[in-house]
Amino acid sequence: MRWEDQRRSDNVEDRRGMKVRGGMGGGLGIGTIVIVLIVSWLTGANPLTLFQMAGGLSGGGPQAPAEQGQMGAPTGDPQAEFAAVVLASTEDAWSRVFQQAGERYQPPTLVLFNDAVASACGTNSSAVGPFYCPADQKVYIDLGFFHELDQRFGAPGDFAQAYVVAHEVGHHLQTLLGVSEKVMAARQRASEVDGNRLSVMQELQADCFAGVWGHHANQKNLLQAGDVEEGLRAAAAIGDDMMQKRAQGRVSPESWTHGSSEQRVTWLRRGLTEGTIDACDTFGQASRR
């Protein structure tokens, strides 16, 4: 990606090096946290959902306010600056899309942390991976995940990293569009299997939204040869089927929460190709099957 000379977003909060008050998981014991992470790894279930079920996220009482970190990506930190450039690019892309629809885009804040972080959705370890909290409209990421993406999942490259940020911003889009609220209400009425299907559709839509951002970034000449392939490789590497094969040697589709490698690649590619929100109706596609 051609990112070095691009605008950096000011909507970045650096909390790296800050200690989290109140311990992990909003009061969960360390043993419970370890069990939740193991279950997530073995089943492919979303760890945020599991923490919520265990009482570790919002719904278990009011959360202590998170401490405010330094605003703006620190200069001289290539990874933080890169994340700030990607965030700025999503701001530009989605502002144009919303403006064309007669609406105003409200961008999220990107919070950088290491080890653990407190959010309006509770306190989480970096082992949860990047996540978006709709309650405070912030994206949280431990930049060490980029190393994991390369070394553990075999998906190197700056566009692969950008895809991760854009996917989480995609969840912010779902909050602004009312999708997240509808899915949450539907999941409360659904069985576990049907709830997982809804989660898959939501995650695939966020993949497609990441592709829409990539489409606009390409129009701004930010992408280079091989970038799209990096993103598609990353989407395939973190499909539920691939994660389950690594963890348990078998695949359990009924427990998927993010979608298979093929599904994630398909929807990311669709967003990249078509470049519109309308192309990302994963829920409508599922209802027509």
From the list 251, 255, 227, the residue with the least C-alpha distance to 241 is: 251
**Rg of the chain, C-alpha, whole Å:** 18
Please compute the mean of the pLDDT values over residues 58-87 and round it to a whole number.
72
d(CA 144, CA 166): 17
What's the confidence (pLDDT) of residue 64? 45
pLDDT confidence of residue 286: 55
CA distance 167 to 201: 13
* Reported confidence tier of residue 56, pLDDT bands at 50, 70, 90: very low
Mean pLDDT of all residues in 154-180 = 92
> To 10 degrees, the CA torsion angle through 194, 208, 231, 272?
150
Question: What's the pLDDT score for residue 22?
Answer: 54
Pairing of strands 116-119, 122-125: antiparallel
Share of the chain above pLDDT 70, in %: 82
Q: Residue 106: helix, strand or coil by DSSP?
A: coil
Residue found by looking up tokens 């929460």 in the block: 257
Q: How does pLDDT run across 99-141, given as a tens digit for each residue? A: 999 999 999 999 999 999 999 999 988 888 899 999 999 999 9
- The predicted-structure confidence for 217-237, as pLDDT tens digits, reads as follows 999 888 888 888 888 888 888
d(CA 244, CA 41): 7
User: What does pTM read for this prediction?
Assistant: 0.81
Averaged over 176-192, what is the pLDDT? 92
Q: Is 13 helix (H, G, I), strand (E, B) or coil?
A: strand
Q: Is the pLDDT of residue 280 over 90?
A: yes
Q: Average the pLDDT over 208-223 and give the result.
A: 93
